[in-house]
Structure formats: structure tokens, C-alpha cells
Chains A and B, each alone.
Chain A
């Protein structure tokens, strides 16, 4: 791997077209460059000098994984890195967009989680959690129990709330049935219902987002 990486670097550095160099000279320089590349201060191409180096990048990825951050983005002149880690692992980690010499890091990050299945098995909250994670600034009403979600007190009755309904903290927003008992769920916030994340009759788990409220 490192040989491939160093080869790309030495190609960039070389101003002469490859045909003008003898095979031996090229192999020798490539070998030399590889050795030089192992030291910290290797000559970076000019346009990358102001940007991040390998050690900084490793430290950054370490900080991101240690703190279980979901997304991180950094932009500097001539350089842009985006590292993503989906909390619910329904997708593999977003591939970092990095200059060539950092391919080694990308490979090790993926290898570290390869031994455990990436995908969490289907659980009631998966889709709703993804949808809810996109709604910044909304107050989420989440399910306090495991059960079946119903929007109305009985099959033919009107829904407790709909999009646009105003709620206060004691407004009943739905019923969750657990073990044949109907549990009325209160909003515990005041504002306007702008999102409904679950469908009537859907199984819900603890912590699953049900409604998004714009508070006020």
C-alpha cells in the first residue's frame, strides 16, 4: 500500500516526463522517495503544505471516534475533509474525501469495524430515527414505552393531533398500546406539530421519535 502511495507522490514531484528517465533511475528515485516518505517531514506538494498532515488526521479521526461524533467536516484552503459515522450503522461509514497519501488511514478505519456486522437488524425505530435526525431545531416527542402506536382513541375516531395542530404540555398526542392497555402519551411541550414520524398501527420502541414540535 505504502509503495503505491509513495509512487503517486514521486510522480507528482517529478517534472520530467517518465519516458525521459531510464527505468533504473526511476526505480532508484522511487525507492529513495519511499524511504524519505517514512520520515515525518517529507516534502509535500506545494498546494497541500497549508493543509493537514497524516498525524493530525489520525488524531482527528481518533477524536471523532472516541467521542462518537456523527459527522465532521473541515475546510481549509485547497483541502476538504468530511468524516461521517452513522450512529445506527445502517450504512457503512461515509468515505472520507482525502488527498491520496491518506488512503492508508481510510483503510484502517474501515477494517476496525469490519468484524462486527455493519447493519443493525431491523428494529422499529430505524427509519423514523433517520428521518428525525434531519429535523434540526424541532422538539421530538419520543415513545416512553414499547408498544403499538395509534393516532386516535379508537378506530373510527378523529386523530388526536394532525400536522399543524397546536399542543400544550398536557395535550394527548397519541395512544400507545402495550399488553392490552392503552397508554395516553402527552406532548410535554407546547408548540405546533410539524412532523409525524410513525404510522397508525406501527410498532414502536423506547426512545423512538413520534412527533416533531416547533416550540412556541
Chain B
């Protein structure tokens, strides 16, 4: 074995649910032993059943279990693991946790702690990206001091602009401004609203994109400076900034734009010294210009759509990179075959989105050609109320987007989950929506969709949000 490489005998999976299972599946394929940690209510969870070893680390509340660093490290030491895979969420982007792993001589499967720290702070990340030549959304550097300053900045940015509260979000303290004449009034009202909502009347200005798309680039980088991008994902269909449905490639993408965005991401990786898997989130405006939003220094929920079209195993790559292997392939080797769509199935009422924990009394998973399901539930399993509501991801892969949509519709129709409510009906409606089918997607898609599809429980709320954001 060459210098810097060591094979892991055992990995502790510091997570739960579908991603814990996902990591365990790849570890099994690689012949690596697995240790599952779990809270007491997760004793019967699937990841615990299929891991080689398991240990209860605390009671149900995440703070005392899945976020409990001493408990996890203690478990890692008792079981003598070589590495920890943090999954997504929980401690995946905790620079502190990554540092402790290093101090305890346990390999954290992800980038170095200082990189996690850097990209986790909004301001620091933006500055680092600027320095790397990555386009960022034009805006004022900080809070606006005066209407004159605002007018000057807005002119530089170019209208339309949006006035936003520094102290919070959710549509409050936001005003879209289409011309200079509206600016002063908008500043005043936004500031007043912000002061009332967040006790902080500070506002800043940003370029406003009417119908942005959320396009993200998946990267892989080894610990020797070599990087590649595995194409993009279209993730615009979101509710309250939570993604519901993703696809790859993005319907609106061209090979030129993909190359531009991908090479930008690679340059950024090299500039900051990135390693392991990561995702650059961009906002794409209607003129085909892209702007950096944020970077996620971990594996993401929607990674399967990339895996399907590029025929890669991102978890496997993460493990090999952590073991000290070089990347092993060049950008030209990256394949992109067909089209993949993922629907996140949540244990929620499909109309009101109220959480629906409870016991699954009947369960059937779709199968057949081009269908993949990442899940952690099974018949008779009791979905606990303590954690997020994602119970399964249904992913389809087909030659074309049209075929993928038909395949997803078929797969969702065959998926049976009884005893709890799920968002399967909502996803079916989206598959049948003509805008979705035409690829007319932006981050406003779901609000518009819910409003026009007579979601009684949600229409008032979504109308209010749309109004506030306008």
C-alpha cells in the first residue's frame, strides 16, 4: 500500500434513517465493517438491523443522541472504528466534530475542519468565492446607511433589486423594486416591517431574480488537489426552502453552461483546498447567468440522481478519498447517461404538510426497470415523531426526461404506504402537471402549483408568502 493510504476495516455511521442505510449498503459492498449508533427509540430501525454492530447512544432527542459528540466518539472508541461517516444533517457540517475526530485519530469522512468552517459561514464563504472568481449575486456589502447610498448601489447592481432584512427572512422585510422611483418608499416600508418582525430594521440590497432556478454542481476532490464535477442537479421545486423533488440533468442546461458552471466549481475547490464530496448551489437567472448561493461540504439528500446518470457511487468515492486514494478518473471520463428524477416521500399530509408519524400497516415498494428506492422503513415499522419526516426517496432513471416522468408516475402508483399519510399523492400531481412536464420550473413553482391546485390548507399561507415576497 502506498504512502498515505490505509484501508478502513470499520466505519461508524453517525446518522440514522435512509442515509445511514445508504452508507451501510456501500460499506457492505466494499467489505468494510459497520457500526450503527442509535437513540433508544430507533432500536428497531433498519440501519441498526443491517449494521454489523450497533450501540444505543442516548434517548430520543437528537441533542442527546445523534448530536451527542461525546457519546458518538465514545462509541467509536469502544468499537475501535477507523472512520466516521456523518451522512447529511446532524454533525455532517460541524467543524467542531470533525476536529474532535481528528484529535481522537478517527478519520472524518469529509473535508478538513477549517474548510467546513470556512464554507459554513455565509460572509466568509462569499468572500472566498469572490476571491476564486466565482460570480456572486450582486448586492450591498452590508446594511444600507442612507437612501442615497441605496440608489447608488441599486444602479450598480441593475434593476430589479430586492430590499431584504438583515435580521431575518421568511418574506418579511422584503420588497422588490423595479425602478429608482420606487426605491425610497420600499426602503422605508421594508425597514419598518423588519424592525417589527426582528427588532432589527437593517436592510440590504441584492439583485432580484424573478424566476430563479436552483441548480447545483456535484464535485469530488481527493486529498491531493485533484477535482472533477459530476454534472448538475435541478432542485428548484421547494417548499419553504426544503427540496421536494430533484432531477439530473437540469432541463434547461446546455453543454456550454454546464462546462462553465462546472469549471467554476472546480476552480473554487482548488482555490480553497477542498477534498471529499461537495455541492455548489447556484442561482440561475432567466438570462442564463449563474450566481453562487452556498456550498454544502457533505453528501446531499438528492445525490442519487447524480449517481444514476453518471453511474457512480458517491459514498464509495468519499470512502476511497478518505482512505487516501487519488481521485482515479479525469473530467473527460465522467459519463452522463439518460435522465433521473427523485421524489422525496415524507410522512406528512400531502395537502396540509402536517407531520404524520405512526405505524406503517401496509407497505409495498415499487421495483422494475430503472427504479431505485432509498428507504429505512418496513412493514409494521413505527415512524417516530422525533426526527425529520423523510421516509423514502423514490428515484427513477430512463433514457429521456419524458420516459423518466412516465416511469416515476408508474413507480409512485405502485408504492403503497398505509397507516400514515405521505406526500406520494402530491408527487403524482406534480408528475401530471403540464408546467413540470414542459420543464417550466423555478423556485416559485411549488407555491404557484399549490395555490392553483386548490390546496385548501395551504392556499392562504402561500398567497401571503407570495405577496410578501413580491
Q: Residues on A close to B: CB < 8 A?
A: 65-66, 68, 88-89, 112-113, 115-117, 120-125, 145-148, 178-179, 203, 205-208
Contacts and interface: CB of A to CB of B under 8 A. Distances in A.
B78 A120 contact: no
B11 to A, nearest CB: 14
B49 A179 contact: no
Contact of A179 (B52, B55, B74): B74
Contacts of B44: 89
A4 to B, nearest CB: 26
A124 B37 CA distance: 12
B169 interface: no
5 contacts: A122-B53, A125-B56, A147-B78, A179-B70, A179-B73
A82 B40 CA distance: 27
Given A145-B71, A206-B40, 5 more contacts: A120-B49, A123-B56, A146-B75, A179-B70, A179-B77
B104 interface: yes
B50 A117 contact: yes
A205 B40 CA distance: 10
B-side interface mostly = mixed
A84 B437 CA distance: 52
Contact of A66 (B48, B50, B56, B359): B359
A9 to B, nearest CB: 30
B49 A117 contact: yes
B380 A206 contact: no
A87 to B, nearest CB: 8
Contacts of A179: 70, 73-74, 77, 104
Contact of B54 (A113, A123, A147): A123
B59 interface: yes
Interface in B31-59: 36, 40, 43-44, 46, 48-59
Contacts of B52: 121
Contact of B78 (A112, A113, A146, A208): A146
Contacts of B70: 145, 178-179
B170 to A, nearest CB: 37
A121 B48 contact: yes
A184 B78 CA distance: 18
B77 A207 contact: no
B378 interface: yes
B56 A205 contact: yes
Nearest to A202: B78
B379 interface: yes
B378 A206 contact: no
Nearest to B50: A117
Contacts of A89: 44
The 3 closest A-B pairs by CB, nearest first: A178-B74, A146-B74, A205-B56
Query: Which of B70, B73, B79 has the most C-beta atoms of chain A within 10 angstroms of its own C-beta?
Result: B70
Contact of B55 (A117, A123, A148): A123
Interface string B52-89: 11111111000001000011011101110000000000
Interface in B271-319: none
Given A120-B43, A179-B104, A205 B380 contact: no
B57 A205 contact: yes
A115 B379 contact: yes
A146 B73 CA distance: 9
B54 to A, nearest CB: 5
A207 B50 CA distance: 21
A88 B38 CA distance: 14
Nearest to B79: A203
A89 B71 CA distance: 25
A58 B424 CA distance: 30
B14 to A, nearest CB: 12
Given A120-B54, A146-B57, A148-B78, A206 B71 contact: yes
